[in-house]
Chain A
Amino acid sequence: MRMSRHGVSRRQAMIGATATAFAAMLAPRMSVASEATVAEEIKKLYSDRKMLDGKIKLDLPQIAENGLVVPVNIEVDSPMTEADHVKTVHIFADGNPLPGIVSYTFSPACGKAAAATRMRLAQTQNIICIAEMSNGTLHMAKAEVKVTIGGCGG
């Protein structure tokens, strides 16, 4: 590599500049929901009702290279009959500008309480999924997604 008079090659200078630009891009610059805001949203919906584990299969990538399009797959274990089915499923994220992602309303006609969509994630964060059954019980599942490039460009 040919060095300039100042001892820093043009290539090195370019690498430095790119790194700085990247750091600026990744720095947080907007208000962000937190675990507390998600907890508040859940409280608004279900006050302090008990959350059970299990039944929810939350299928997410461990690492999302592109935060703009992150697949999110949920499946809730239920026979989906009139007497016993999944009524609603809410999905939240605790590191986006807003906590909500999506809310589903299922019916016994679905046959299977499963749905898939794609979401934007601003940074590495937890995804929280809550399912309300027809008998009123609530189930919760949580998973972390590591995001390499955030999906809330400004």
Chain B
Amino acid sequence: MDASAAKLIGMGLAAIGMIGAGIGVGSVWASLIQAVGRNPAAKDSVQTFAYIGFAVTEFIALLAFVVAILVYVS
């Protein structure tokens, strides 16, 4: 196989890691909506945790992207 073709396939494979992050981020926001729906008074305190959880989960997607870019640049 051509090396540049393998590179593109590798980039695509690296992007698969974003599936998990997508599920995770969705679950974070879904839980936030559920929690606020059940107890609207808790919104402020729950929101902080939701944003932290979002950032930590999103980090996985970014790692996948960084790996893809590294494959492209190297």
Same complex: no
